[in-house]
Structure 1
């Protein structure tokens, strides 16, 4: 034992352990990618539904108020209200169709 060699040779790492570590790292990376929050989910659908509701109510109520105001100042009893209501409905449905045809962001 007077040699400068140690009594035992150091154990080299096994190639199987290296391969296992690489596979574990790849699996962890895939799991992290899968668990990232996405914009297209229940929250996005909820926001989309709220926007459709707001467009519909806003168009109808806005057209009604504007039509009633025109009737009040012009003295054209039901016609301004009816035209305003009709235009409000048209604008509301145009906005809803435009939102429905928009592609989701990825």
Structure 2
């Protein structure tokens, strides 16, 4: 009777190990797919950040140029120049955010530093 019971327990243990191995494999697959989805979301967030920084710089340049032209009366030159400066600032911001251009070192900003 004891041998029959031990054999039944051993059979049950092997079944449980097989089921547990299947569950672990499924959990690992889900974790891998979640990791890929998270990387995709990070890429989308970075793209939205870069595009919004670029567009914001252009819009700010255009608005400042319009206001400059309106108050000084130099239409359309203020808007053209500040729009181009906004475009350049947007490109520089995107390159900095992407890591292609280094940000200035804080010690370079001190007056009298050469």
Tell me which interval the TM-score lies in, with the shorter structure as reference length: 0.5 to 0.7
- Give TM-score, length-normalised by structure 2: 0.59
* Alignment CA distance shift 1:72-1:13 (3 Å): same
CA RMSD of aligned residues (A): 3.2
Moved over 6 A (4+): none
1:12 to 2:21 alignment: no
* Alignment CA distance shift 1:39-1:25 (3 Å): closer
* Alignment CA distance shift 1:79-1:31 (3 Å): same
* Alignment CA distance shift 1:12-1:51 (3 Å): closer
2:96 pairs with one of 88, 95, 98: 98
Q: What's the secondary structure of 1:93's corresponding residue?
A: helix
Shift of 1:81: 1.5
Gaps of 5+ in 2: 101-114
Of Structure 1 and Structure 2, the greater helix share is in: 2
Shift of 1:70: 0.8
Shift of 1:65: 1.6
1:39 to 2:38 alignment: yes
